[in-house]
Amino acid sequence: MTFDYDLVIIGSSPAAIYAAKTAARWQARVALVQPESSQMNWLMPSSLYGRAAINLLDSRLGDTNWGEADWGVDWGDSKDNLRWSESANKTQHPDSSVDSSLDSSFHALSILERLNSIATGVERIREENSTAVLASAGIDVIASNGQFIPKPSLAFEVNNRLLRSRAYLLATGSHPAIPSNIPELTEPNSLLRTEIENFITRPLSSIPKSLIVIGADPRGIEFAQTFARQGSKVTLIVPTATLLPAEDPEAAQLILAQLEVEGIDIILDTTVTQIKSIDKKKWVQAGDRAIEADEILLAAGYQANIESLNLERVGVEYAELSEVRAIGHHLQVNRKMQTTNPRIYACGEVAGGYPFPHLAECEARIALKNALFLPIFKVDYSTIPWALFSKPQLARVGLTEPQARRRYGDIVVLRKYFKSVAAAAWRGETTGFCKIIARSNGKMVGVHIVGPEATELIHSFALSIENGIKVGAIASVPHIWATLSEINRQTAELWQREKLRPWQNFLEAFFNWRRG
């Protein structure tokens, strides 16, 4: 049987474009089908857009290293108008009687203008991934909706044209998942904001005095903390028994404690059953509690953009939902990134997990090797870092402590706190720790960092785990003083101290002998 293409990629996500360009560089014949309904947002993906907004908001309180000039926002005299000192006091003492609510003097337009400026400033990225550039690389770009057909042979139908390929890759991205148990959410609802990246761009004359965040999606947690720091009374409703159940319990507990210290009311193990508008007020029924708020943000997970692809007809099955991912269907895939139809691969949100481009691209790389060559490559999630951009930040790579104990039994846990790091002290950010989980031979199987710039510090550990570099090697590398990276060396040095302990008596006797 002859094929028109070596690979047909469906989607317009960053992973889809990455896969198409990579396959074309490998001299494969590639078609990239970009559904009309998908959002081509290479320039400002939601995570970047939301992150920029969070940093802009936090810069008002001097709570980030990015100052006003760095972000290009002129707050003028608005700091005084916005009760700068009162907002800071409210952040540190959430139970105080200080009124930290923000008035209409808040320069929301300045934030929007700066976000648009950021988008304009990276226009080159859009141009590098435009249809013309992709076509010049030998990629057939088709901007249209389509679906799989099983007969007479597997193909993808677009505009009455059949695309026959040896393999197919689904990289369609996702959209916010809507819980089916809340009747009010089955239709478009003005009471609810579901798209986190658009939360600030929608009409908001000021920071809301009260905000309810439904779900524990990472960006939802980030926004909950950010708005709490701006003076909003924030309630976070989580359906699981713990916050961040997939993370190391020690790290998750510290994030939970930090959010509670900042005045966020966290309701665990509770499901929202109703959302109503009563007397122009928004109400949420969560368990036996009725909670009022100015704004409601849904951050309950993601639904893969795969509804209209006719996947059931070609033998592609959905994965079962779990406690960690209770809503938002995704496809069942193996470690080769194959769906239950071995010729159809999936990556990113389509395959489950958080919508992080770096994770999707890693999965796409494995899928490409298997689809274009031999299906022998497997994804190794133990070397892929993950992060939560809270304050303090949380970053990890590899196994959690409970996972490591179940898998290996005898492990060594090394822990060092940021309060011992000079750079953290002068930054005034000493909350957090670095935790290395290693086997008895020094091989690292997991690292968890909670603290300032944890998202930057984690990469050296990810590289070490991927290349089998043992924990002692980290300690032997001089780290620049005074930088936050000292936490990496200090934690690794604990390994050397542990290994030196059995030699204490011998060394004492040796030096006694040398002194005569």
Answer for the pair 389, 54: CB distance below 8 angstroms, yes or no. yes
Fold of 7-42+129-176+303-379: FAD/NAD(P)-binding domain (3.50.50)
pLDDT value at residue 79? 39
Highest mean pLDDT among 97-111, 213-227, 315-329: 213-227
Average pLDDT over residues 216-221: 84
pLDDT value at residue 183? 64
Percent of the chain whose pLDDT exceeds 90: 51
pLDDT digits (tens, 9 = 90+) for 467-501: 999 999 999 999 998 899 999 999 999 998 877 77
**From CA 265, how far away is CA 249, in angstroms rounded?**
20
Neighbours of 383 (CB within 10 A): 16
Per DSSP, the three-state class of 305 is: coil
Torsion 39-317-302-298 (CA) sign: positive
pTM, full prediction: 0.82
Q: Which of 3.30.930.10, 3.30.70.1520, 3.40.1210.10, 3.30.390.30 is the CATH number of 383-502?
A: 3.30.390.30
CATH 3.50.50.60 positions along the chain are 7-42+129-176+303-379, 46-119+178-300
348-362, 388-402, 439-453: which has the minimum mean pLDDT? 348-362
**Which has more pLDDT, 180 or 421?**
421
Average pLDDT over residues 386-390: 92
Q: Tokens for 208?
A: 């809301």
**Which has more pLDDT, 61 or 366?**
366
Is the pLDDT at 47 greater than 70? The verdict is no
Burial (Cβ within 10 Å: 0-12, 13-18, ≥19) of residue 471: buried
Q: Tokens for 131?
A: 């249809």
pLDDT value at residue 242? 92
75-79, 419-423, 463-467: which has the minimum mean pLDDT? 75-79
Rg of the Cα atoms in the chain:
25
Q: Tokens for 511?
A: 């030096």
Q: Tokens for 503?
A: 């030699």
Q: Tokens for 419?
A: 């309060």
Average pLDDT over residues 186-191: 53
**From CA 494, how far away is CA 69, in angstroms rounded?**
41
> Which segments within 271-310 are labelled E, that is strand?
272-278, 281-286, 289-293, 295-298, 302-304
Is the pLDDT at 449 greater than 90? The verdict is yes
- At the fourth CATH level, which superfamily is domain 46-119+178-300? FAD/NAD(P)-binding domain (3.50.50.60)
pLDDT value at residue 71? 39
